[in-house]
Structure 1
Amino acid sequence: MVSNTFTSSCMQSVFPYHWQTRLIGRSAECRVCWSEEQPWLLTPEGKRPWDRNAWGRDNALVLLLTPEQVVVCDVFFPEAAGKNLNTLLHHEISRFTPFQASDVIFAVGRRQVREQRLELTLAVVLRKRLEALLDRLAERGVAPDRVDALDADGRSLDVDLLPPERRQRRYSWPRLINASLMASCLLLAVFAAWLWLHDRESMLEEMTAEVQRLQREAHEITELRQRLADNDNATGYLAGLKHQTPSMLEALQDLTQCLPNDTWLERLDIKSQGEVIMTGQSGSVGGLIGQLGACPGISAPRFQGAIQPDDRSGKDRFSLLADIPVVTEPALEP
């Protein structure tokens, strides 16, 4: 009820009466007029004396002023004057009527723009006369919700000449329902827009999180691939190095078979490139080069340095270099 009252009161303060009726609907109206010193109830069948029981409380009560009770005239202004029409009429009312603006209540009925000229139907009533009429109606229990006027042809101008201080808010169920529906539609539209924006933000956050997760997984996969590639390279390098390094057991076996029995080694160093350094003593140093040269697993034997006799053993001390052929494993075809 509070929201409906607020909506209707805002419309009354912002929009003209005919716009209010279009926006929030017009409740059923009960029309009365003042004639022959008494109020009359206007019905489709004609007028009849005022009967309080014939007036539904939910119906708006409208007082119709006859052409004898109100001044109705057509006025013309430039089209641009429509922006501040009320202010302009307040200052110019004395040009169209013999009254001052403070002495009358006026309202604009029909209006139209023709050839860049604003044509208005102006309804003007003396404030004192209208106040007196309203007081006399109040004495008979008639409190209008609106004061309308009739032109010379008997047509309603659809205006409200009721003084602001006498206006009372009356709300009927149809108007309350219309106002509630309007407020509900507006709230639903705002809520739907908020839900749409919220869903888009949620989807964007989910997509951003998913992209970040995929990026992390892709980075981890790249690191794993790099590690596998490094391991493959290291494995291949070690395997190649293993095949290129001469076998220690094979070299010892060849030397054992090729060296004479009166020869022993004090030092044996086999390099990875296949070079062999031997230091030892022998009783037949002169035949070592020939015996080692005939050995199938040793090639290019040669002495290193001078041969020196050993007084303790009676043999000759020597230092000898030789090569052991390195057999590489053929590469596998892809």
Structure 2
Amino acid sequence: LPRWLLLPAGSSLRRRLTLPAAAADRLRDVIGFEIDRQTPFSADAVAFDARVLGRRESDGQLDVELVAVPRTAIDPPLAALGPLAATLSGIDVAGADGAPLAVNLLAPDRRRRRRDPWLRWNWALAAAALVACAAMLGQVLANRRDAADAFEQLIAAKADTGRRAAAQRQQLIDLIEGQVFLDSARTARPSAVEVLDELARRLPDGTYLEKLSLEDQRLTLIGLSNEAPALIGRLQGSELWRSPALAGALQPDPSSGRDRFTLTAELGRTTPAPAAAARGGAPDASATR
């Protein structure tokens, strides 16, 4: 521990001063210029120091106490200490109650600054703590990375399962939409049996067909008839086609005495198909019986 010399209260001269606030940073140097005016001694003849008693709220000035001890009162105690005098960290003065005034009368260049014997150990322990902290942080970071990699693999597996499920769902949707499209197309377009049945009921007896073509949405009839001009009127109003018309002029056939015709129409139901046709043309149960 540092060694201090404590002088008795009666050995010091104390003066109370008021100084500007800017003097706080170099208080000892400022007080050194006040020794000649405040004491009967010169600055070289005394050991001195100052302590701040307070700061005024009105103007911010400092209340300072100057403590000075003649060197003639300090030299005998120092001589009595012998070799220990060189090991002193400071010289203080006791107050009226015996407690130190918390000043240091020893010149700054003579103060013994003792090094902390635990300083090297403290630095070593601090370095070890930093290394341990860095290792801990590295381990935490590694653990976080491992957890992130595992979580990423789990997400990838879940995502692959989700993609497969989405692909299967899309396939199912495509199948359903395709089936709906086929059903709607089948419902919108009459079957060949229905067309033949409708033609057999609408064409007159003196008409026979050489060719009947069902291509996409187009119906084409080529044949001979002794009532060819009246065929359009007979075919109009059907629920299986619309807009019947002759394609080209009628051509007389000398061998049969009939007119050769080519007639076209657009296939398509003009009214909704019955439920049986919507289900793919399945026969009605009552008709089956």
TM-score tier, shorter chain, comes to 0.5 to 0.7
Q: Deviations over 1:200-252 (max 9, x none)?
A: xx9xxx9xxxxxx9xxx9xx99xx8xx89x96888756643432222234224
Taking a change above 3 Å as real, the CA distance of residues 119 and 307 of structure 1, as seen in their structure-2 partners, is closer
The corresponding residue for 1:134 is 78
Shift of 1:141: 7.3
The corresponding residue for 2:101 is 157
2:188 maps to 1:244: yes
- Asked if the contact 1:75–1:119 (Cα under 8 Å) also holds between the matched residues in 2, the reply is yes
The corresponding residue for 2:28 is 86
Give 2:5's match in structure 1, choosing from 63, 73, 78.
63
Gaps of 5+ in 2: 149-154, 279-289
Structure 2 Cα separation of the partners of residues 137 and 313 of structure 1: 160
- Asked if the contact 1:137–1:143 (Cα under 8 Å) also holds between the matched residues in 2, the reply is no
Structure 1 Cα separation of the partners of residues 99 and 265 of structure 2: 135
- Asked if the contact 1:297–1:324 (Cα under 8 Å) also holds between the matched residues in 2, the reply is no
Taking a change above 3 Å as real, the CA distance of residues 164 and 135 of structure 1, as seen in their structure-2 partners, is farther
Aligned partner letter, 1:279: I
Indicate the RMSD between aligned Cα atoms, in angstroms. Answer: 5.5
The corresponding residue for 1:95 is 37
TM-score, normalised with respect to structure 2: 0.53
Structure 2 Cα separation of the partners of residues 239 and 128 of structure 1: 126
What is the DSSP-based 3-state SS (H/G/I as helix, E as strand, rest coil) of the residue aligned with 1:306? coil
Q: Deviations over 1:139-198 (max 9, x none)?
A: 47784333111346755323222222332234789xx79xx7xx99xx99xx9xxx9xx9
2:208 maps to 1:263: yes
Structure 2 Cα separation of the partners of residues 308 and 64 of structure 1: 148
Which runs of structure 2 are paired with 1:171-210 in the superposition (5 Å)? none
Aligned partner letter, 1:264: L
Taking a change above 3 Å as real, the CA distance of residues 97 and 320 of structure 1, as seen in their structure-2 partners, is same
Structure 2 Cα separation of the partners of residues 68 and 294 of structure 1: 144
Which runs of structure 2 are paired with 1:1-334 in the superposition (5 Å)? 60-67=2-9, 69=11, 71-78=12-19, 80=21, 83-84=24-25, 85-101=27-43, 104-109=46-51, 111-113=53-55, 116=58, 118-126=62-70, 130=74, 134-139=78-83, 143-151=87-95, 155-170=99-114, 239-255=183-199, 263-266=208-211, 268-269=213-214, 272=217, 276-280=219-223, 282=224, 284-286=225-227, 289=230, 293=234, 303-310=246-253, 316-321=259-264, 326=269, 327-329=271-273
Aligned partner letter, 1:73: R
Structure 2 Cα separation of the partners of residues 307 and 94 of structure 1: 148
Gaps of 5+ in 1: 1-58, 207-212
Shift of 1:112: 3.3
TM-score, normalised with respect to structure 1: 0.48
Structure 2 Cα separation of the partners of residues 89 and 100 of structure 1: 12
Structure 2 Cα separation of the partners of residues 97 and 299 of structure 1: 134
Structure 1 Cα separation of the partners of residues 262 and 85 of structure 2: 145
Taking a change above 3 Å as real, the CA distance of residues 235 and 67 of structure 1, as seen in their structure-2 partners, is same
- Asked if the contact 1:72–1:121 (Cα under 8 Å) also holds between the matched residues in 2, the reply is no
Structure 1 Cα separation of the partners of residues 186 and 2 of structure 2: 110
- How many aligned positions are there? 234
- Asked if the contact 1:259–1:288 (Cα under 8 Å) also holds between the matched residues in 2, the reply is no
- Asked if the contact 2:14–2:66 (Cα under 8 Å) also holds between the matched residues in 1, the reply is yes
Structure 1 Cα separation of the partners of residues 268 and 100 of structure 2: 126
Structure 2 Cα separation of the partners of residues 128 and 244 of structure 1: 131
Q: Deviations over 1:96-118 (max 9, x none)?
A: 12344455432224623467564
